[in-house]
Amino acid sequence: MKSYRKELWYNVPGRRAFVNITPQVEACLRESDIREGLALVNAMHITSSVFINDDEDGLHHDYDEWLEGLAPHEPVGKYRHNRTGEDNADAHMKRQVMGREVVVAVSGGRFDFGPWEQIFYGEFDGGRAKRVLVKIIGE
Amino acid sequence: MKSYRKELWYNVPGRRAFVNITPQVEACLRESDIREGLALVNAMHITSSVFINDDEDGLHHDYDEWLEGLAPHEPVGKYRHNRTGEDNADAHMKRQVMGREVVVAVSGGRFDFGPWEQIFYGEFDGGRAKRVLVKIIGE
Amino acid sequence: MKSYRKELWYNVPGRRAFVNITPQVEACLRESDIREGLALVNAMHITSSVFINDDEDGLHHDYDEWLEGLAPHEPVGKYRHNRTGEDNADAHMKRQVMGREVVVAVSGGRFDFGPWEQIFYGEFDGGRAKRVLVKIIGE
């Protein structure tokens, strides 16, 4: 069994954004030289997500509005977590809706994607450098 | 390390449905001849889900109503994604709540399920043939 | 390829709680003697979750209030699932938001965690003994 590990760094200037990280994760797979196995791609931070969906700007706008409706940032004071001096309680919730990680099959040396699947980093508390972990195991 | 791959096809006539796919996924496991490992089961489409929960019709009715409350289909025009000519923005959201994939342990040649765990395909934008990927690695 | 399996039991007295299970899951990893691979940690019951987030009491309070807003326990009679004699339909929904499982990379014999990542058992229908499965594969 082979295994491969890499950290990818992202620094989103605003509070929230969705970044298509498929090219960087595919570069990891090529570097790993693994042809059959499983790839785990996860946010290493608890106010961000890794998820698979469509690379369409309108959808990302809709996700942002929808998540803000489900877990509003304001008023910051309504969250007990924010009494610790943070203002990111809403980001911890948005991340649970969108998920921490994806596991992707590796078949024939490629990610075994459906027709529109793309891997995204979802940032809900940006403004600093944060990491995504890529771990691939197989042969 | 052994690896196994299969696509399962589903064509749900209406817009939304939950289909118990446990028997087909268990058939994959038998075919794989893997006794210890991990199985990934994921929707290959970004408006459907694979998840594990209870095979109880009332619950599926409740899930459907609940998801429609969290991410209503109508009015279609309120989603920017739907300006692309689609009407399925809500399906992209419902899928995030229910998840893209499950990873299930394989122990002693069987899925290592709790007492009520069953694998479901959740369709949120049906009316056409769509795929689920089963990838199993182990020994 | 090595594989390891263990069930962890939890009995939460009230209806809902979040329990930090990181120490027990780390003990499993040490016992497995696996240094490179993937660990799956999943709830074996369909009204509870395993997820990764922050070990901060205020946040757990916020999660509990937020989930109760998204999928209220009362009125019990509004859920069709509860006509089966159950009163836990809301727990099946809360579990979908928080997730069934996490997959964690194992690197150099340790969980490859980001700075604040901790593994939690989330109980949404407590008052009885329930299980978490730890399955680790690798070398």
What is the reported pLDDT for B65? 98
Of C112, C114, C137, Cβ closest to residue A135: C112
Average pLDDT value for residue range C52-68: 98
The predicted structure's pLDDT at residue C57: 97
Cα of A22 to nearest chain B Cα, Å = 15
Choose among B84, B96, B133: nearest Cβ to A112: B133
> ω into residue A75 within 30 of 0, thus cis?
yes
Q: Do B5 and A102 touch (CB under 8 A)?
A: no
- What pLDDT digit, counting tens, does each position of A12-50 carry? 999 999 999 999 999 999 999 999 999 999 999 999 999
Do A7 and A132 meet the contact criterion of CB atoms below 8 Å apart? yes
| Secondary-structure breakdown of chain C: helix, strand, coil percentages, each rounded to the nearest 5 | 30, 35, 30
pLDDT at position A2 is 97
At B138, the pLDDT band (50, 70, 90 cuts) reads very high
The interface predicted TM-score of the complex, written ipTM, equals: 0.97
Percentage of the residues of chain A whose pLDDT score is greater than 70? 100
Of A52, A66, A114, the CB nearest to B93: A66
Which three-class secondary structure state does DSSP give residue B54? Answer: coil
pLDDT band at C135 (very low <50, low <70, confident <90, very high): very high
Q: How far apart are CA A67 and CA A74, in angstroms?
A: 13
Q: Chain B: nearest CA to C110, how far in angstroms?
A: 19
Q: How confident is the model at residue B95 (pLDDT cuts 50, 70, 90)?
A: very high
pLDDT of A98 reads: 98
Question: What's residue C56's pLDDT?
Answer: 97
What are residue B114's phi and psi, to 5 degrees?
-70, 180
Residue range A94-121, pLDDT digits in tens = 999 999 999 999 999 999 999 999 999 9
Q: Which residues of B touch C (CB under 8 A)?
A: 1, 36-38, 51-54, 56-59, 61-63, 66, 70, 97-99, 102-105, 107, 112-117, 137-139
Q: Average pLDDT of chain C?
A: 98
When pLDDT is cut at 50, 70 and 90, the band that residue B28 belongs to is very high
Tell me the percentage of chain C whose pLDDT exceeds 70.
Answer: 100
Residues contacting A119, CB < 8 A, separation 6+: A20, A21, A22, A25, A41, A50, A51, A52, A102, A104
pLDDT band at B88 (very low <50, low <70, confident <90, very high): very high
Q: What's the distance, Cα to Cα, between the start and end of chain B in Å?
A: 5
Spatial distance between the Cα atoms of B117 and B7, rounded to a whole number of angstroms: 21
Distances (CA, A) of B139 to A139, B36, B106, C32, C40: 13, 5, 10, 17, 17
Span between the terminal Cα atoms of chain A, in Å: 5
The average pLDDT across B49-54 equals 98
Contact B82, B9 (CB under 8 A): no
> Cα B70 to the chain's mean position, in Å?
19
Average pLDDT, chain B: 98
CA angle A88/A89/A92 to nearest 5° reads: 95
Distance (Å) from the C-alpha of residue C38 to the closest C-alpha of chain B? 9
Residue B26 banded pLDDT, cuts 50, 70, 90: very high
B125 falls in which pLDDT band (50, 70, 90)?
A: very high
Residue B34 has which token pair?
């893997």
Which residues are registered as beta bridge partners of C6?
A: C134
Residue of A nearest to C137 (CA): A137
Residues in chain C: 139
Single pTM value for the model: 0.98
Q: What is the percent of chain B with per-residue pLDDT over 90, rounded to a whole number?
A: 100
Best CA proximity match to A138, nearest among A99, A110, A100: A110
pLDDT, residue B6, reads 98
Q: What is the pLDDT of residue A135?
A: 99
Q: Cα A31–A36–A41 angle (5° rounding)?
A: 60
Which backbone phi and psi does C79 adopt, to 5 degrees? -100, 130
Confidence of residue B94 (pLDDT cuts 50, 70, 90): very high
Chain A residues whose beta carbon lies within 8 Å of the beta carbon of residue B100: 51-52, 99, 102
- For residues C29-41, average pLDDT: 98
